[in-house]
């Protein structure tokens, strides 16, 4: 599932049309093209899922709920058709109006712009004076919906791989009830640095009922290759 980004210049929209949380605006964070240049230079490629095309998109420079802020949240909301984008911009406007009503005293917290509906939504955060982000997390809830045939293909590729066999042999005391490799979610090129969408297959190494640890294999089911690997932790509930 690869192909060039089409239809929308995301970098242009970030520089010239980004929406800014009032408290980002108030602190003049990432104001102007010079301040934005390192962010643009570090930005990864965004490729629409399943050979679709981006019809529209908008960025939000969001705040970290601290004054003065230490980080900036960057959110990207991308759409395959303009009608959905228009509805989302209405949702944004309603949130902005609600925030404006609550924007009374700097010491009071106000909401941010997370959770706006989009065909693909991404977020990242970075220190204001730190290195700009090179990866953006896919936040769309559909990322956990992997077509069964694709999921099984990804799991088979992991089970047959040398990387998995080495890991499996290293955790021989692992409880049987944890199961085998399991297709967990889609991951995008903006998140992995790979040039195509991939499936992340999770293998739990241990779980004590509260905290679990595992290894995630990033699998390109089209090329039949494992293109990445990372460790992860999670807490139940």
Cα 60 to Cα 105: distance, rounded to the nearest angstrom: 22
Compute the distance between CA of residue 155 and CA of residue 173 in angstroms, rounded to an integer.
22
CB atoms within 10 A of CB 87: 13
Tokens of 126: 């970075």
**Residue 100 sits in the same domain as residue 198:** no
Q: How far is CA 19 from CA 13, 57, 87, 168, 236, in A?
A: 10, 11, 16, 47, 35
Say if residue 176 is in the same domain as residue 131. Answer: no
The 8-class DSSP code of residue 194 comes to -
Q: Count of residues for the chain?
A: 237
Q: Are 123 and 75 in contact (CB under 8 A)?
A: yes
Which residue, of 139, 170, 196, is where some domain finishes? 139
In a domain, 1, yes or no: no
pLDDT tens across 71-96, in order?
999 999 999 999 999 999 999 999 99
- Counted domains in the chain: 2
Quote the CA–CA distance of 219 and 199 in Å, as a whole number: 5
Residues 26 and 94 in one domain: yes
Is residue 3 very low, low, confident or very high in pLDDT (cuts 50, 70, 90)? very low
189 shares its domain with 108: no
**Residue 2: inside a domain:** no
Helices and strands in the chain, H and E counts: 7, 9
- Please, are residues 20 and 61 in contact by the beta-carbon 8 Å criterion? yes
Please indicate, yes or no, whether residues 220 and 127 belong to a single structural domain of this protein. Answer: no
For residue 118, being part of any structural domain is answered with yes
- Regarding whether 47 and 86 lie in a shared domain, the answer is yes
Range of the domain at 196: 144-235
Domain contains 3 = no
- Together in a domain, 74 and 14: yes
Residues 133 and 87 in one domain: yes
Looking at the fold, whether 149 and 173 belong to one and the same domain comes out as yes
Phi, psi of 79 (to 5 degrees): -135, 145
Taking Cα atoms as reference points, which of 237, 228, 182 lies closest to residue 205? 182
Question: Do 121 and 171 sit in the same domain of this protein?
Answer: no
Please check whether residue 163 lies inside any domain of the structure.
Answer: yes
Output phi, psi for 149, to 5 deg: -65, -40
Q: Is a pLDDT exceeding 50 seen at residue 70?
A: yes
Boundary residue ending a domain (109, 139, 169): 139
Whether 191 is in a domain gets the answer: yes
User: 105 in a domain, yes or no?
Assistant: yes
Mean predicted confidence (pLDDT) in 216-225: 97
Tokens of 134: 């090179």
Q: Over 60: is that where the pLDDT of 6 sits?
A: no
| Residues 154 and 217 reside in one and the same domain | yes
- pLDDT tens digits for 146-196? 999 999 999 999 999 999 999 999 988 888 789 999 999 999 999 999 999
Q: Are residues 102 and 73 in the same domain?
A: yes
Question: Last residue of some domain: 118, 139, 160?
Answer: 139
Query: How many whole angstroms separate alpha carbon 5 and alpha carbon 17?
Result: 19
Residue 225 included in any domain? yes
The b/e string for 157-167 (b: 16+ C-beta within 10 A; e otherwise) is bbeebeebeeb
């Amino acid at each position: 599932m690869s192909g060039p980004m089409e239809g929308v210049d995301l970098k242009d929209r970030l520089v010239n049309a980004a929406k800014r949380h009032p408290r980002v605006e108030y602190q003049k964070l990432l104001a102007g093209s010079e301040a934005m240049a390192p962010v643009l230079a570090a930005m990864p490629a965004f490729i629409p899922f399943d050979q679709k095309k981006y019809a529209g998109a908008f960025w939000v420079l969001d705040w970290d709920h601290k004054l003065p802020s230490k980080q900036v949240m960057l959110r990207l909301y991308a759409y395959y058709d303009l009608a959905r984008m228009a509805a989302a911009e209405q949702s944004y406007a309603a949130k902005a109006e609600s925030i404006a009503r609550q924007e009374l005293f700097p010491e009071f917290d106000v909401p941010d712009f997370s959770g706006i509906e989009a065909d693909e939504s991404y977020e990242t955060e970075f220190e204001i004076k730190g290195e700009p982000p090179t990866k953006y997390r896919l936040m769309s809830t559909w990322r956990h919906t992997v077509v069964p045939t694709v999921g099984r293909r990804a799991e088979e590729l992991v089970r047959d791989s040398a990387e998995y066999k080495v890991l499996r042999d290293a955790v021989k005391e692992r409880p049987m009830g944890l199961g085998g490799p399991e297709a967990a979610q889609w991951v995008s090129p903006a998140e992995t640095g790979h040039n195509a969408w991939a499936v992340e297959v999770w293998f739990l190494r241990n779980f004590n009922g509260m905290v679990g640890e595992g290894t995630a294999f990033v699998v390109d089911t089209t090329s039949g290759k494992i293109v990445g690997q990372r460790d992860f932790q999670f807490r139940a509930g």
